[in-house]
Amino acid sequence: MSSSPRDAIILGGGPAGASAAWSLAKAGRRVLILEKERLPRVKPCGGGVSPQIAQWFDFDFAPVISNRVTRMRFTWKCGEAVEAPLETKEPLWMVTRSEFDHFLVKQAVARGAELKDGTPALGLRFENGAWTVETEEGSIRAPYLIAADGAKGPAAKWLGFTDRKRFVAGALEAEFPGLSPDPDVVHLDFGTVAKGYAWNFPKGDGQGLGLGALRGKQDKDLKTLLAGYTESFGVKLEACHLMAHPIHCWDGDQVLHTQNAVLAGEAACVVDPFTAEGIRPSIFSGLRAAEAIHHALSGEDRALEAYTLLMQEQWGREMAWAKRLSQLFFAAPRLGWKVVVGSPGSPQRMASVLIGESRYSDHAARAIKKLSFGIAG
């Protein structure tokens, strides 16, 4: 394998890894993306992306936006419904992850990043001031490393992060090739999944229907629940392509750096504990991780520690609100539905948080107060 000098190795070509590579390459750093799968690769995901990410990049995402959602339809057990227009500056983007992730990687490569896909990392070691990554093709060395290999990736454990603060949620998604009857509407259902929610997202000429179990065990298996949900849209589960995957949700602030290395994306457990949104926080963490590596390469002391502190301050504080809201909502989901969805103006506030135009801290205190009072009463 090439022994050309590199500044950093990034494990994983998802949103976090690709964004970090783009940022480092733009700053003139020599960076390698090491991705275990051949790109583009299938990635199960609802595919909703906040348009707020556009302000972080200097290129247009239009080529990979399949739908722009202008309305959200909330239901309780596929019955009682509340529909809310997205009163935001930009509609919610819908993407197919295989296309979206590959697009981000290509932007990084266009800036000068190197890509080795279809090349899984087999192990890590730090020696003589640099990281060595072992692969089937040989070893690769660089002074800095970003672990962005996702929920199931081994890099965090290899780096010594054996007790990360997280709770592991589960998701089951059914990809259906038939065109959505409402290509500009996102459907979110509560109550069908006891400690989570169901969704139907339009994706180009298809639909992504799924369930996310966020808190505790379910009374029924997810496949049975999903079959009932898909049938509410006239879709047979057997006509869909099924994909299951774990989700590592934020469950408290934690250290995200170690010797010349940082965690980013779902490896850093940055997924929203209430909505299970992962793309925007993964990109945010990837860009901040790249900045930290760049500063460290420039000789700044404690640059990687600063990354941990920044993520705690700018992401963790918001997720503390999301965690509290999630705990109360799913402790009494019917009450949660009435407070978070059914109250006047609440759907618009919820949509604004999902889009990224407002923060949990702007709205959550009111909902938490109502939920706490309702549960106590």
- What mean pLDDT is predicted for residues 121-139? 97
Query: Residue 233: which of 212, 214, 206, 213 has the closest Cα?
Result: 206
- Residue ranges of alpha helices (H) inside 62-96 are none
Instruction: Find the angle CA(321)-CA(191)-CA(251) to the nearest 5 degrees.
Output: 30
Query: Residue 158: which of 127, 133, 140, 130 has the closest Cα?
Result: 133
- What mean pLDDT is predicted for residues 31-41? 97
Query: Residue 352: which of 365, 363, 366 has the closest Cα?
Result: 363
Instruction: For the beta carbon of residue 283, count every other beta carbon within 10 angstroms.
Output: 27
Query: Which band of pLDDT confidence, cut at 50, 70 and 90, is reported for residue 1?
Result: very low
> With contact defined as beta carbons under 8 Å apart, do 10 and 33 qualify?
yes
Instruction: Tell me the β-bridge partners of 170.
Output: 213, 246
Instruction: Give the lowest-confidence range in 24-33, 104-113, 364-373.
Output: 364-373
CB-side neighbour CA atoms (13 Å) of 248: 22
Sequence-ordered list of residues with C-beta below 8 angstroms from that of 107, at least 6 positions apart, any chain = 18, 22, 57, 59
Q: Is 78 strand, coil or helix?
A: coil
- Which of 120 and 347 is assigned the larger pLDDT? 120
DSSP 180: P
User: What does pTM read for this prediction?
Assistant: 0.94
Query: Which band of pLDDT confidence, cut at 50, 70 and 90, is reported for residue 148?
Result: very high
What percent of the chain lies above the pLDDT cut of 90? Answer: 74
DSSP 97-151: HHHHHHHHHHHHHHTT-EEE-S----EEEEETTEEEEEETTEEEEESEEEE---T
> What is 70-91+167-249's CATH number?
3.30.9.10
Cβ-count burial 47-77 (b if 16+ within 10 Å, e if not): bbbbbbbeeebeeebeebbbbbbebbbbbbb
What percent of the chain lies above the pLDDT cut of 70? Answer: 97
Q: Which residue ranges does the chain devote to CATH 3.30.9.10? A: 70-91+167-249
User: What pLDDT is attached to residue 224?
Assistant: 93
For 213-222, the pLDDT digits (tens) are 987 666 668 8
User: What pLDDT is attached to residue 33?
Assistant: 98
> What is 8-64+94-163+252-317's CATH number?
3.50.50.60
Query: Which band of pLDDT confidence, cut at 50, 70 and 90, is reported for residue 353?
Result: confident
> With contact defined as beta carbons under 8 Å apart, do 49 and 353 qualify?
no
- Which of 356 and 243 is assigned the larger pLDDT? 243
Q: Which residue ranges does the chain devote to CATH 3.50.50.60? A: 8-64+94-163+252-317
For 248-307, the pLDDT digits (tens) are 999 999 999 999 999 999 999 999 999 999 999 999 999 999 999 999 999 999 999 999
Sequence-ordered list of residues with C-beta below 8 angstroms from that of 60, at least 6 positions apart, any chain = none
Determine which helix (DSSP H) or strand (DSSP E) holds 290, and give its type and residue range.
helix 279-297
φ and ψ of 334, to 5 deg: -65, -45
User: What pLDDT is attached to residue 368?
Assistant: 85
For 48-107, the pLDDT digits (tens) are 999 999 999 999 999 999 999 999 999 999 999 998 888 778 889 999 999 999 999 999
Instruction: Give the lowest-confidence range in 50-64, 236-250, 358-372.
Output: 358-372
User: What pLDDT is attached to residue 205?
Assistant: 87
User: What pLDDT is attached to residue 2?
Assistant: 44
DSSP 312-353: IIIIIHHHHHHHHHHHHHHHSHHHHIIIIIISTTHHHHHHHH
